[in-house]
Structure 1
Amino acid sequence: MNVLKFGGSSVANATTIENVINIIKEQSKTKSLYVVVSAMGGVTDLLLQAGTEASTNNENYKKTLAEIEKRHLDAVKNLIPVISQSAIISKVKSELNVLESLCEGVFLLSELSEKTAAVISSFGELLSSYIIAEAAKVKGLDIGLKDSRDLIVKTINSKVAIDYIETNHRIKAFAKDNKNKISLFPGFVARTQNGEPTTLGRGGSDFTAAILAAAIDAEELQIWTDVSGMYTANPKLVKQAKPVDHISYQEAMELSHFGAKVIYPPTIHPVLDRNIPILIKNTFAPEDKGTLITRNVSDRKTPVTGISHIDNITIISLEGSGMVGIPGFSKRLFEALFLENINVILITQASSEHSICLAVEASDAKKAKTILDSTFEFEISKRKLEPVKIENDNAIVALVGDNMYHHQGLSGKMFSTLGKNNVNIRAIAQGASEKNISVIIEKKDIKKALNTLHEQFFEVKTKQLNLFVTGVGNVGSKLLSQLEQQKIYLKDKLRLKIRIVGLSNSKKMFFDENGIDLHEWQEKLNKGKKANAQDFFNQAKEMNLRNSIFVDNTANPDIAKIYKHYLAESMAVVTCNKIACADEYSNYEELQDLSRKFNVSFLYETNVGAGLPIIDTLNNLIASGDNIHKIQAVLSGSLNFVFNNYKEGVTFYDIVKQAQQEGYTEPDPKIDLSGVDVARKILILARESGRIMELNDIENESFLPQESLETTSVKDFFDSLKKHESHFNYILNEAHKKDCRLKYVAQYENGKAKVGLQHIPAEHPFYNLEGSDNIVLFFTDRYPEQPLIVKGAGAGADVTASGIFADIIRIGKK
């Protein structure tokens, strides 16, 4: 004998009921069956809604009852042949008339008692079981309908406590006399010991099935629902969640208690003692394996079985010296809550006994505070205790698994994983059995926490990065192309899945939590909303995704000012925008402090040498204990390009224009040619070397005429270059006279820095620097005479984009 239970989604309408009948028919070929059914999906909510509306003198209850009637009559008309409908419709309408009378009484009295609410809510199961039984008979099944209220007896003054002696006696007596191959029962409904109608609570149909299975010692209890078993996490919140083939009773109880909606928590207890397997199956995909629940699971190697959570949790805290060393304090606390039927979900207490923290359902919070303030009124009045504190909008997340026992480092891995993603843990609880580690977090962080933990404990070491990218010009568009081009390589070789979830230019911004298709990003962005740097941050914060990275491909000072907000929300920042790191030292220091405080990456390798590892090399030297004495560098790929190509027969204007068009300069070339850009770069290197320095501390020997420096537009600047061609020609000729080449050099030595155009002789390492290449010489304790040299392409959209790409990958590999 097997017991099958079908939930509300499985019997939601005529089509799904047909599916259920086919499953029953197939299984009844080899076994006798007890079948328990829930109300049609959503009907219990409608019934309670009608009762509530009636109790508040809201005549809308009649419309709600009409909707309930329509759903059931539609099912009858679609399941039963016309010739057989009359009697069944008459029976259904008769039951609905009783329901209407009950609601009318509630309306007149303006009161909905607990007993009346139980009676009203029971109509869903009573109607669905009757309709399904009649539909099954039409299909030729040998089926009989039995009212569960005649069998299941609940103890008085308890939500789910069953009088098992009387209940088992009644079920066995029924089984002895039952002649049907299939017996159908309404779930959820029962009677008290004095015969009054009651229910087993929301989700009680599972419990009904378990009680029946235990009483008849069934071979298997099957719970048929709308998912293919118990998942590693809630699949509605974690797309990568997958069904677990086999779990233990203990694991199932832990997961169901902590929010796994597949099975009602009390369901497991009746069958556990009898060692009856529970099989979770999908009504809509019966071929799926599902989840088998038994006493022991011996073939699983992973420590964590699943991650579950409970929404709408309130933290209740008691603090004060009046608790310390006082015997019986906890007894008074829990007894007060027990007497008010308030369930405590989680408890944690400091070893100092100075504070105790409880988690209760949000609906019980107000009542709990009132009761505890009253219970400890004397201690509070004497200031031995603080008034009870309640904190709303929290949730519990739990790691569950039998194999967690004595598995070192799980707690630390859980906490560090959450911490890296700015998920604050308010309280922690772990039993000595080590089968459950529970933490309280803010409700807004649930989705991020579940996805982060699932990625850590269940996915094949594939880390998902969520990028918010601003700036899609030369550099930004190249970055997007590189990300798309390397997508498969990153996933297969580096186990990284990089998604663009936010995109912005100066006019528009667009977001998609599921990832923006990089083949269509331009069309998507054009349809986005008006761009605003602060709004872009606000949206990124609201999306609250794990492993979030803000990527700035602009030279916009307003965007640079917002980096600190991203870092404070534990969102990494990758930027080629030099303004933030070359701003006032206090701002630079603040960004570094935020990066350390929130353990989040702030990477700006491209600030100095595009794709060259200049900052990384410098940081490695310092971290390994070396000391920097001098830095000499050609740090402007654009200036190097200009002076490498400026020669007789070509005007300075033409070369600068070419550099701009090929993407070597900033949109405003004056930033490069004035030396400001190079000054910012050597400033950043000086600061990375440990020097406190401001931009105006750097000596800038500009080669531009004063008129060029004072221009206010790009056009005027280019016009001034044409006008002063003789000036630039003179500079070129002076270098040729000395057999030197012109290089714009940055130097940091003895705590001072300067930038300027220099004549470089043939024996100098800078002399043969070609194209747009950069070069940096590090003179240190370890490299006093022969410097450590970093050399390579230092300008251009492609290499800058590749540098940003490298920083993103560095974060992903952390």
Structure 2
Amino acid sequence: MKVLKFGGTSVGSSKNINKVISILENYGKRDTVICVVSAVGGITDKLLLAGKQAQNKEQAFLNTFNDIKEKHIDIVKTLNPENSASILKEVEEKLNGLKSLLEGIFLINELSPKTSDKLVSYGELLSSYIIAETMKNRGIEAERKNSQELIVTNSNFTKAEVDYKATNTNIQDYFKSDSKTVTILPGFISKSKTGEITTLGRGGSDFTAAIVAAALQVEQLEIWTDVSGMYTTNPKLVKQAYPIDKISYQEAMELSHFGAKVLYPPTVQPVLSLSIPIHIKNTLEPEATGTIISNDEVTSTKPVKGISNISNIALLTLEGSGMVGIPGFSKRLFETLSQEKINIIMITQASSEHSICLGIEEKDAENAKVAIDAVFENEIALNKIEPIIIETGLSIIALVGDNMKNHQGISGKMFSSLGKNNVNVRAIAQGASEKNITAVIAEKDVKKALNTLHEQFFESKTKQLNVFITGVGNVGERLVEQIHQQKKFLKDNLKIKMRVVGLSNSRQMIFAEEGIDLTNWKDQLNQGEQASLQGFFEKTKSLNLRNSIFVDVTANKNVADLYAQYLRQSIGVVACNKIACSSDFENYKLLKRLSLKYNAPLLFETNVGAGLPIIDTLNNLVASGDKIHSIQAVLSGSLNFVFNNFTDKTKFYDVVKQAAAEGYTEPDPRIDLSGVDVARKILILARESGVEMNLEDIENKPFLSEAGLKSDSVDDFYETLITDEAHYQSLYASAKANNCQLKYVAKFDQGKASVSLQEIPEGHPFYNLEGSDNIVMFYTQRYPKQPMIIKGAGAGADVTASGLFADIIRIAND
């Protein structure tokens, strides 16, 4: 004998009911089947709504009733296209009874719990009748038995308590003589000892099935729903969630208590003591394995079995010095909430006894405050305690697993991963059994928290990065291409799942929470919304995704000014924009502090030397205790390109134009040629070596002509290059006469820094520096005579993009 229960979604449409009938027919070929059904999906809510409308003298109750009527009649006709007359007649009679009941409520302007139970019972009575009669029409041996004739309760309407002795006798006696292959039972409904209609409360249909399964001591109870079992977490919020094959009763109850909608805890109680397994199955995918809940020992390598959450939580805090050492406060607090019929979901109290925190449903918060403040009115007046404090907009998340107590560090991993993603924990509770660890967080952070914890405890150490890129010009475009090209490699080899979630240029911006399709991102961007720097930040913030990284591929001060906002949201920043880290020293230090405070990486390797590991090497030297004595460097790939290609047979104007065309210079070449760009780079290196310095402290000896320095625009500047060609030729001629090469050199020594164009003699490490290469020489305590040298391509879109890419990957590996 099998006991199956089908929920509201499973019988929510004629299409789904056909699936239910198919499942029952197949089971009936092998065994005797008892099937408990819920009301058609959404009907219970409509019945309650119609009752409220009628109670409030709203004529709209008739419209709601008509919706209920049309829904059932449509299902009957669709299921029985050729033989529905007799079924429709009975259904319409039941619906007429429902209408009369609603009209009575309307007339007397009252909806008592007793009447409410009678009202909502129509849902299950109708669905069970329609399903049973449809099966008979199709030649399947089936009958319907009214559960109200089997399940006996007290008169506690809306949540009746079962008389198990009488109920078990009724069920056993009936099914001894019942010879039908399939018996359909309406769930949720029952009758009191005095014959009044009652209901079993929330999860009542599951409860009905469990009562029947326990009374008949069947081998297994099957709960059929619209998902393939109990998931590791909410699959609507976490795409990577997957069904749990096997789980214990205790774990199932914990997950159900903390919001898993598949099962309601009282369902488990009748079968728990008899060790009857519960199998959660999917009506829409009957071939799926589902989840088996039992007492069988489950071997699992994962200490955490699932992650659940409850939304719409309010946190009540009772605190005051007058509570310390005084017995009775907790008793009075809990009694007050009990009298108000307010359920406590979570409790936490500090050992100092100075405060007690309670988690309750948000809808009960104001009622709770009024009641508690009234009870403690005297203590509040004497300033022994504070009026109750209410915090709303919260949610509870919980890690659940029988084996958590045998594994150290679960709590540490949980709170560390939440902290790294700026999820603030308001309260914590953990029982001595260590079957769950509970935390209260902001409702807005639930999705991020669940994804973060699921990644930490259930995924094969694959870290998801959510990347937001501003500036998709020459370098930005290459970066997007590199990410797209390396996507599979990163996942397979580095266990990094990288998604570009936001893209922006100066005109448009686009976002896709599941990741932008990078095969045609340019077309998408052209159709995007109007770009806004603040709007881009607000959208990034509102998406609230874990492991978020903002990538600045601009030279825009306004973008750099937003770094602090991103860091305060625990969003990492990767920048090739040098403005922020070469800004006022106090702003530089602020960004560093924010990065540490909010655990948000701030990486800017490409600020100096494009993709060369210059800053990383410097940081490693300092971190290992080495001291920087001096730095000598050629840090401008653009200037090196210019002076490597400028001769007495070329024009300075032509060479600069070529450098710009090949992406070696900033859009405004004056930034490079004036030495400001190099000054910023040596400033950043000086700061990273531990020296407090600002840009104006750096001696800048310009080589540009006076007209070039004073030019008002880029076009004007290019004109000066033509008119002042003799000036630039004289620089070249002097170097050639001295058998030297022109190199733009940055120096830092004894706390002072300078940048200037210099004639480098043959034999010097800078002499043979080719193309757009950069070179840096670190003279340190450990490298006093022979410096540590880093040399390589220091400009170009591809290498700069690769430097940005490396910083992003570095964040993933932290």
Task: Give the TM-score, by structure 2 length.
Answer: 0.98
Residue 143, structure 1, aligned to residue 131, structure 2: no
Could you tell me which amino acid in structure 2 is paired with residue 436 of structure 1?
A: N
- Alignment gaps of 5+ in structure 2: none
- State the match for 2:112 in structure 1: 113
Q: After TM superposition, list the pairs within 5 Å mapping 1:558-573 onto structure 2.
A: 558-573=558-573
Tell me the residue number matched to 1:65: 65
Secondary structure of the residue aligned to 1:8 is coil
- Residue 178 of structure 1: CA displacement? 2.5
Once the two structures are superposed, residues 177-207 of structure 1 have per-residue CA deviations (whole angstroms, 9 ceiling, x without a partner) of 3332322111111223443322222321111
Deviation at 1:160, TM superposition (A): 5.4
Shift of 1:234: 0.9
Alignment map for 1:354-433 (pairs within 5 Å): 354-433=354-433
Partner of 1:234: 234
Task: Report the Cα distance in structure 1 between the residues aligned to 2:98 and 2:680, rounded to whole angstroms.
Answer: 79
SS at match of 1:502: strand
Rounded Cα–Cα distance in structure 2 between residues aligned with 1:589 and 1:279: 58
State the SS of the aligned residue for 1:426.
Answer: strand
Say which SS state the counterpart of residue 280 (structure 1) adopts.
strand
* 2:584 aligned residue: 584
Read off the aligned partner of 1:776 and give its amino acid letter.
V
- AA paired with 1:151? L
Amino acid paired to 2:622: I
Q: Within 1, Cα distance between the matches of 2:261 and 2:481?
A: 43
Q: Is the 8 A contact 1:119 1:198 kept in 2?
A: yes
Q: Percent of aligned positions with the same letter in both sequences?
A: 61
Matched residues in 2 for 1:579 and 1:110: separation? 71
Partner of 1:457: 457
Task: Decide whether the 8 Å contact of 2:638 with 2:772 is kept in 1.
Answer: yes
Shift of 1:32: 1.3
- Name the SS of the counterpart of 2:373 in structure 1: helix
1:98 corresponding residue in structure 2: 97
Whether the 8 Å contact between 1:246 and 1:297 is mirrored in structure 2 is: no
Question: Which residue type is aligned with residue 128 of structure 2?
Answer: S
Equivalent residue, structure 1, for 2:602: 602
The one-letter code sitting in structure 2 at the alignment partner of 1:115 is: K
Deviations 1:714-745 (A, max 9, x none): 11110000110000000111111111111101
In the TM superposition, residue 148 of structure 1 has moved relative to its aligned partner by 1.3
Q: What is the aligned partner in structure 2 of residue 691 from structure 1?
A: 691
1:261-320 Cα offsets, whole Å, 9 max, x none, are 111221111101011011011111111111111103332221111111111111010101
Does the CA-based 8 Å contact 1:223-1:281 persist in structure 2? Answer: yes
Alpha-carbon separation, structure 1, partners of 2:506 and 2:110: 60
One-letter amino acid matched to 2:94 = E
* 1:475-497 Cα distance to aligned partner (Å, 9 max, x none): 00000010111111111100111
1:644-693 CA distance string (max 9 Å, x none): 11112101111000000000000000000000000000111111111111
Report deviation, 1:31: 1.5
Tell me the C-alpha RMSD between the 2 structures: 1.2
Is the deviation greater in 646-655 or in 173-182?
Answer: 173-182
Report deviation, 1:81. 5.0
2: CA distance between counterparts of 1:754 and 1:486?
A: 40
- Work out whether residues 308 and 398 of structure 1, in 8 Å CA contact, stay in contact via their aligned partners in 2: yes
Matches of residues 428-443 of structure 1 in structure 2 within 5 Å?
Answer: 428-443=428-443
Report the equivalent of 2:163.
163
Quick one: which amino acid aligns to residue 86 of structure 1? A
Q: CA deviation at 1:44?
A: 1.1
Cα distance in 2, alignment partners of residues 228 and 61 from structure 1: 36
Distance 1:339 1:552 in 2: 58
What are the equivalent positions in structure 2 for 1:171-320 lying under 5 Å apart?
171-320=171-320
The equivalent residue for 2:498 is 498
- Equivalence for 1:39: 39
8 A Cα contact 1:397 1:439, kept in partner: yes
- Give me the whole-angstrom Cα distance separating, in 2, the residues matched to 1:438 and 1:193: 41
Q: Which moved more, 1:73-82 or 1:434-443?
A: 73-82
Amino acid at match of 2:649: G
Cα drift, residue 424 of structure 1: 0.6
Amino acid at match of 1:513: E
Question: Take 1:74 and 1:23, find their aligned partners in 2: how far apart are those partners?
Answer: 22
Tell me which amino acid in the other structure corresponds to 2:542: E
Distance 1:180 1:532 in 2: 69
Give how far 1:793 is off.
0.5
Q: Indicate conservation of the 8 Å contact 2:426/2:441, yes or no.
A: yes
Confirm or deny that 1:798 pairs with 2:798. Answer: yes
Q: Return the alpha-carbon distance in structure 2 between the equivalents of residues 162 and 632 of structure 1.
A: 86
Letter in 2 for 1:25: E
SS at match of 2:406: coil
* Residues 628-653 of structure 1: per-residue CA shift (max 9 Å, x gap): 11011100000000011111210111
Q: Which segments of 5 or more consecutive residues in structure 1 lack a partner in the other structure?
A: none
Which letter maps to 1:88?
Answer: I
3-state secondary structure, aligned to 2:608: helix
Question: How many positions carry a matched residue from both structures?
Answer: 813
Q: Distance in 2 between matches of 1:629 and 1:788?
A: 12
TM-score, length-normalised on structure 1? 0.98
Distance 1:543 1:472 in 2: 21
Distance in 2 (CA, whole Å) between partners of 1:52 and 1:526 is 51
* 1:353-397 alpha-carbon deviations (Å, 9 max, x no partner): 000100001111111111111111111111111000111110011
Q: Please say if residues 245 and 289 of structure 2, whose CA atoms lie closer than 8 Å, have aligned partners that are also in contact.
A: yes
What's the CA shift string for 1:496-535, capped at 9, x where partnerless? 1111111100000111101101111111111111111001
- SS at structure 1 position matched to 2:9: helix
- Corresponding residue for residue 153 of structure 2: 154
Rounded to whole Å, the distance in 2 between the matches of 1:112 and 1:125 is: 20
